[in-house]
Structure 1
């Protein structure tokens, strides 16, 4: 499922709370967005629309099976932190500012990152690290 950067942020924030998928689904389907707004100042209508369009795809997205439609470098850094716990101390920015390098991740995490990134991003493995760039 291809989602926006804000939808990805919102999903990752809710997962970190931690809300279960069933809790999120219940409150979105029952239009009880105030349940989330008491803790976060975010647009939960985005997720309400997603779950109405395709509940099964939304569930997969909540489980981490999503691609972000357009990823900026700052968006990438935020998603790496939110989703994988990867901080700026774990990689170097490319001199051109269009990517990062020397990120040491497991093959499983690498595959999740590859799947998450929009098609304009490239991922290259260099021995023990990966480089992500546009």
Structure 2
């Protein structure tokens, strides 16, 4: 199943709202009503209007993002760390070891690992080996 693609910032906004107790239904209702003003208190730096714009392009796709999940168009190393924290509650040094090109020794259960694989952009490789899970940037030659 292919998931709709969203930007890393849109993923941050959605996961930040979820971490702060906003339900999927509340996210959809706020976006449909074009009233995201109440979300500013969660993170004043986020432009939650971007979610309204995303929904206006294709409401059904937006609802699918919220209910069924998404893929991020492009994830950076810092973006990976932030997603691991927001979406999965994982911390560097406790649940994984940060590397220059990603993370190793990641502690995730099977459903969360499958979710992570669906979210990540094509510039990542995820391996589940004897040493644990590693999530590392692919070599540039892998794209040719």
Answer yes or no: same fold by TM over 0.5.
Answer: yes
Native 8 Å contact 1:105 1:129 kept in 2? no
Q: Point out where structure 2 has 5 or more consecutive residues left out of the alignment.
A: 138-144
- 1:85 paired to 2:89: yes
Separation (CA, whole Å) in 2 of partners of 1:46 and 1:102: 34
The equivalent position to 2:75 in structure 1, one of 53, 71, 78, is 71
Counterpart in 1 of 2:140?
A: none
- 1:104 paired to 2:94: no
Provide the aligned C-alpha RMSD in A. Answer: 1.6
1:56-109 C-alpha deviation (Å, 9 max, x unpaired):
322232236111111111110010010001111211123xx0111111211211
Counterpart in 2 of 1:6?
A: 9
Counterpart in 2 of 1:46?
A: 50
Counterpart in 2 of 1:26?
A: 29
Native 8 Å contact 2:17 2:42 kept in 1? no
Q: CA deviation at 1:128?
A: 6.2
Q: CA deviation at 1:54?
A: 2.1
- The ranges of structure 1 where at least 4 consecutive aligned residues each deviate by more than 3 angstroms after the TM superposition are none
TM-score by length of 2: 0.84
Q: CA deviation at 1:4?
A: 0.7
TM-score by length of 1: 0.89
**How has the CA–CA distance of structure 1 residues 101 and 33 changed in structure 2, closer, same or farther, with 3 Å as cutoff?**
same
- 1:122 paired to 2:125: yes
Q: Point out where structure 1 has 5 or more consecutive residues left out of the alignment.
A: none
Question: 3-state DSSP class of the match of 2:11?
Answer: helix
Q: CA deviation at 1:13?
A: 1.0
Mean Cα deviation higher: 72-81 or 22-31: 22-31
